[in-house]
Amino acid sequence: MRWRDASIVRRLVVVALFAGLVPGIVGVLLVRSMEEGQLRDQAAARNDAVAQRTAAAIDGRIAGLQSQLDLLASAPAVAALDERASDELAIALRVSGELDRLVLHDGGGRAVAAAAASELLLADDVADREVGPEVRSVGVVATDGRLPALELSVPVEDPPGTVVGSLVGWVPLPIVTPVVEGGGLLGSGRTALLTTLDGTVVAHRELGRVLAAERYPIEDLVAAGVRPGPDDTGRVLVSGARLTSVDAWLVIEQPEDVAVAPADATIDGITLVIAAVVAAIVTSVILAGRGLLRPLGGLVQAVGRLERGERAVRVPTGAAAEVGALADGFNRMAGALDERRAQLEAAETSARRSEERLRLLVEGVEDYAIVLLDRTGRIRSWNTGARRLLGYEAEDAIDRPFGAVFAVADGSDPLLEAARSHRGETEGWCQRGDGRRFWARTVATALADEAGDPYGYAVVVHDLTDRQAARVALEEALAREQQAADELRRTSDLKDEFLAIATHEIRTPLSAILGASTLLTSGWEDLDEADKVRFRDMIATHAQDMRQIVDRLLDFTRLQAGRAELVHERFELREELDRVIAVLDRPLHGHPLVVEAPEVEVELDRDVLRHVVTNLLSNAGKFSPDGSTISLGATVRASGLVIEVRDEGSGIPAEDHDAVFELFRQSRTSQPGARGTGVGLAIVKRYVELAGGEVTLQSAPGVGSTFTVRLPIGTSDRRSGTLPAETTDGGPP
């Protein structure tokens, strides 16, 4: 081998070594660093996810235990703070399987009843409980030297809304923290623990840490997420999740060396691969260099002779592989030049014929308008489809701007889009040059030569008017179907809502009727006459309440379903108001009623007036103190009938003025002891809106309420009534 050839091979070997080995070493170091960082981040993310999911499960478990306590607190014996409630507590412990102890305290904190799952516990054995502002609470406490437990407290109410005591339950922490109970999470060396907010460990697989009340550095959870391990065992990854149901942290720990251990195996494999690749490159370069340099010398000399103008230059053939093919190709190159020239001439002839065939094909298309434009947008070609669709003959369209014979109605220009991005496409209403409109899809394509310079545009217009009409018809049909489905769903929702409300609201008077009926039938002989009369009156009173509830629910349901119809008739206003007042003896009992209304005929829907006045007066009677005066005023004005109902109740805050007209909503300042369904004012609002009127409220705490209703009417007597100079009304709904 000549020295020159050998030096080239050596250079190739050196370059191959540097090109393969140096990047390989750098790559190994970078990959290791990235792998460790990625594994650390992935482990931290997995630990965070485990902590969040476990915390959510614990919160859900605690919420379930609180629901059990709430249900137990509503039991009659428990709500009555009866000492016999111990039996109820013992049964609840056996049914639950999770609660360890239950204690019932009265309002002063004294233990009334108690029960324990694993020992005999009496109320006298339980210390008095300090009464705080928060009856409902969850916390971690230490009980009698045992492991810390979860303490849950819920209020005991009798009647609902009045707190008379509290029910306290204790739950062992391993029951609500099964992940901590077993001593750690499965796999990957993770461990878990539960701490209070100040870091005191309350649940861990090592009970010694719990009994010693070890303090965990909670500040590590909000730092870098890594801390030194115990006894200099290395660093650990730390993840935590704050429990929402109790003031505690759930902490997940994992040794850092366990998290990044897979990086070593990855780096070993990469190192072996890089070493093999570098060795293969060096060997290949040496062999290829030696095989290629020898025959290439003669080929280089032949190229020089050809460059100097020689035409009969040939090189020896028969060399191996690509070098031999290169020599054969070089020998054929000169003869191929003449052959290539002949082929180019034939190709030009074929191209001219193809262009003519394409022109004839485009000219014969009738369903599409195909138009060729020059780079300025002037028409250069106009086919049969363009003549039929756009309404112009070829001689009238050629050389005119395309915008003069066609335009998209929304102002978009597919030619501008094609100039920017080679292709522009629009679909919508289009306009011919004569003003007629049609729905079409327009595609404009920019035409460019071999150098990429644009020389024109091809525009294709497809008439889609019939298809668009069919699509619009289909969309309208779908809209009608959707409207029908919505109406059906609304009707079903109203039915479900009605059944739920009726069941809830009727239960109380029905229970009273059943109780009184039972006493009358089973103990008739033992009752004196006064008790019999009292029970009969109770049955009649609650039956009337049930009828009123059902009537109001039916009225609201009919209004919501749009089945209420107005029937205008002429009647005497004062007489109709007197009839309405006559049937309101019970709701207005104990309230002086002042009525000021003119004796005038009005044209109005009688049911609207009856429902509005009945519900407003009933509302005022329910939510006004006994002995307070209720006023009803009516005035006929040019704008219509104005009705005002004023009471001397507790008043309604401004923030509740809109809410009281919603279904089943009441003001937070309702008269103590008052009971309502939350339906009356909603019915008033719906009927007033149905009649085309409006209802307004003027009220403030401590000054009573005034409800004003304005209804459009027709009158036969223009005498106007009078109202009190100052009016207020309606209590909280």
Write down the pLDDT at residue 631: 92
Mean pLDDT of the chain: 76
The DSSP bridge partners found for residue 239 are 252
Residue 459 near residue 373 (C-beta atoms within 8 A): yes
Strands of 201-203's sheet in order across: 201-203, 191-196, 248-255, 235-242, 226-228
What 3-state DSSP class applies to 729? coil
pLDDT digits 0-9 by tens, 382-405? 888 888 888 788 888 888 888 778
The DSSP bridge partners found for residue 430 are 408, 438
Structure tokens at 394: 């070829």
Share of the chain above pLDDT 70, in %: 67
Least confident of 82-91, 323-332, 435-444, 516-525: 323-332
Q: Tell the CATH topology of 564-715.
A: Heat Shock Protein 90 (3.30.565)
Domain residue extents for the chain:
48-259, 365-463, 470-549, 564-715
Write down the pLDDT at residue 1: 43
Structure tokens at 173: 């922490």
Q: Per-residue confidence at 627, pLDDT binned at 50, 70, 90? A: confident
Q: Per-residue confidence at 721, pLDDT binned at 50, 70, 90? A: very low
Write down the pLDDT at residue 646: 93
pLDDT digits 0-9 by tens, 108-145? 888 889 988 888 888 888 888 877 767 788 888 775 56
Q: How far is CA 60 from CA 57, 182, 184, in A?
A: 5, 19, 20
Task: Kindly report the pTM of this predicted structure.
Answer: 0.37
Structure tokens at 576: 């109709």
Write down the pLDDT at residue 670: 58
CA–CA dist 398, 283 (Å, integer): 70
Write down the pLDDT at residue 717: 38
Write down the pLDDT at residue 185: 44
**Mean pLDDT value of segment 38-44:** 78
Evaluate whether 48-259 and 564-715 have a shared fold: no
Greater pLDDT, 318 or 232: 318
Instruction: Provide long-range contacts, Cβ within 8 A and 24+ apart, for 443-448.
Output: 443/414, 444/414, 444/415, 444/417, 444/418, 445/418, 446/418, 446/419, 446/422
Greater pLDDT, 30 or 372: 372
Greater pLDDT, 37 or 56: 56
Cβ atoms within 10 Å of 503's Cβ, excluding its own: 10
pLDDT > 60? residue 494: no
Write down the pLDDT at residue 491: 60
N-to-C CA span, the chain: 110
Task: Say which DSSP state 662 is in.
Answer: S
pLDDT > 90? residue 26: no
Most confident stretch, 15-24, 377-386, 653-662, 690-699 = 690-699
Q: Note the CATH architecture for domain 470-549.
A: Orthogonal Bundle (1.10)
CA–CA dist 31, 466 (Å, integer): 63
Greater pLDDT, 694 or 279: 694
Write down the pLDDT at residue 410: 73
pLDDT > 80? residue 629: yes
pLDDT > 70? residue 652: yes
Q: Per-residue confidence at 723, pLDDT binned at 50, 70, 90? A: very low
Q: Which residues contact 170 (CB under 8 A, 6 or more apart)?
A: 99, 100, 101, 102, 141, 143, 149, 150, 151, 152
CA–CA dist 731, 704 (Å, integer): 7
Write down the pLDDT at residue 184: 42
Which is the CATH superfamily of the domain at 48-259? PAS domain (3.30.450.20)
Q: Which contiguous run of DSSP H or E holds residue 439?
A: strand 437-448
pLDDT > 50? residue 729: no
**Mean pLDDT value of segment 604-631:** 87
Write down the pLDDT at residue 42: 80
CA–CA dist 338, 189 (Å, integer): 78
Unique residue bearing structure tokens 């007209």: 661
Q: Per-residue confidence at 681, pLDDT binned at 50, 70, 90? A: confident
CA–CA dist 729, 616 (Å, integer): 9
pLDDT > 50? residue 566: yes
639-658 burial by CB neighbour count: b if 16+ within 10 A, else e? ebbbbbbbbbbbbbeeebbe
**Mean pLDDT value of segment 45-58:** 82
Q: Per-residue confidence at 726, pLDDT binned at 50, 70, 90? A: very low
Parallel/antiparallel/unpaired status of strands 437-448 and 423-432: antiparallel
Q: Per-residue confidence at 658, pLDDT binned at 50, 70, 90? A: confident
pLDDT digits 0-9 by tens, 267-311? 666 667 777 776 777 677 666 666 555 666 666 676 666 566 565
CA–CA dist 139, 151 (Å, integer): 5
pLDDT > 60? residue 7: no
pLDDT > 90? residue 634: yes
**Mean pLDDT value of segment 253-279:** 71
pLDDT > 50? residue 332: yes
Parallel/antiparallel/unpaired status of strands 191-196 and 201-203: antiparallel
pLDDT digits 0-9 by tens, 167-216? 999 888 765 565 444 444 445 667 778 888 888 888 877 766 677 677 87
Residue 633 near residue 644 (C-beta atoms within 8 A): yes
pLDDT > 80? residue 13: no
Q: How far is CA 622 from CA 236, 549, 672, 718, in A?
A: 67, 14, 10, 35
Parallel/antiparallel/unpaired status of strands 593-596 and 630-637: parallel
Write down the pLDDT at residue 725: 30
**Mean pLDDT value of segment 12-35:** 67
Write down the pLDDT at residue 560: 63
Q: How far is CA 318 from CA 157, 287, 289, 312, 324, in A?
A: 107, 19, 19, 19, 6
Most confident stretch, 2-11, 90-99, 573-582, 663-672 = 573-582
Write down the pLDDT at residue 21: 64
Classify 365-463 by CATH class: alpha beta
pLDDT digits 0-9 by tens, 428-473? 888 776 777 888 888 888 888 878 788 888 888 888 888 888 888 8
Least confident of 144-148, 480-484, 618-622: 144-148
CA–CA dist 646, 699 (Å, integer): 10
